[in-house]
Amino acid sequence: MIIALAIAAAEPAMTAIDAERAFAADAQKLGQWTAFRKYAADDAVMFVPQWVRAHEFLKDKADPPVSVFWWPGKSFVSCDGGTAVNTGPWVRQWGKAVGYFSTVWKRQADGGWKWIYDGGDALEAARAEGGDITPKPASCEGKPYMMPHAFHSADSTLAWINVTGPDGQRSFFVWLWNGEKYENVISDYFAAPPK
């Protein structure tokens, strides 16, 4: 028992970047929607393109023959380390379709991560992001305030909002506390769905 605890203590803590990479790997190994179900928190939401509760949407969804592949290109983490937002490129059909995603992750009681928000859109050219990235943490200095209408990490140092316009066009914004104010770190704009 003591040896197991010592080994566990010696292992580096999993980051939201590690969770994103494991999620993407499981999409290839287990199937796309199977992986989405596995990593989704009970209250997770996603946009497909409308807002849906993830587990209700994914419940009976069969995995496609070829899963989308994605990787984290940037990662932003709250000061307390309990919430993170990853964003990056995705490819489908061996590069015939490309786009980007943003995923909000929440650390669980067991130290692992589950996603609570997932959204993305297609692009004409993939974003040039990724590789050996490190998370950008929020400052622990100052007193962050609650941004109106936004969701916040438990310590309020990371905030995000998804806005849907009357035509279905959406925007997703993320702010990171820098010790004095919030800095906008993600501004994603999603096209209105075709009519």
The reply to whether 7 falls in a domain is no
> What CATH number is given to the structural domain containing 52?
3.10.450.50
The reply to whether 78 falls in a domain is yes
1 pLDDT exceeds 70? no
The per-residue pLDDT for range 102-138, each reduced to its tens digit, is 999 999 999 999 999 999 888 888 888 888 899 999 9
- Containing domain of residue 41, as a range? 15-190
The per-residue pLDDT for range 81-102, each reduced to its tens digit, is 999 999 999 999 877 899 999 9
Query: How much of the chain, in percent, has pLDDT values that exceed 70?
Result: 93
The reply to whether 31 falls in a domain is yes
153 pLDDT exceeds 60? yes
The reply to whether 3 falls in a domain is no
Residues whose CB falls within 8 Å of the CB of residue 15, separated by 6 or more in sequence, listed in order: 75, 77, 84, 135
9 pLDDT exceeds 50? no
The reply to whether 195 falls in a domain is no
183-191 mean pLDDT: 90
The reply to whether 8 falls in a domain is no
Q: Give pLDDT, residue 51.
A: 82
Count the residues in the chain: 195
The reply to whether 2 falls in a domain is no
Counting the structural domains of the chain, the total is 1
The pairing of strands 136-137 and 74-77 is: parallel
The reply to whether 10 falls in a domain is no
49 pLDDT exceeds 90? no
Q: Give pLDDT, residue 10.
A: 39
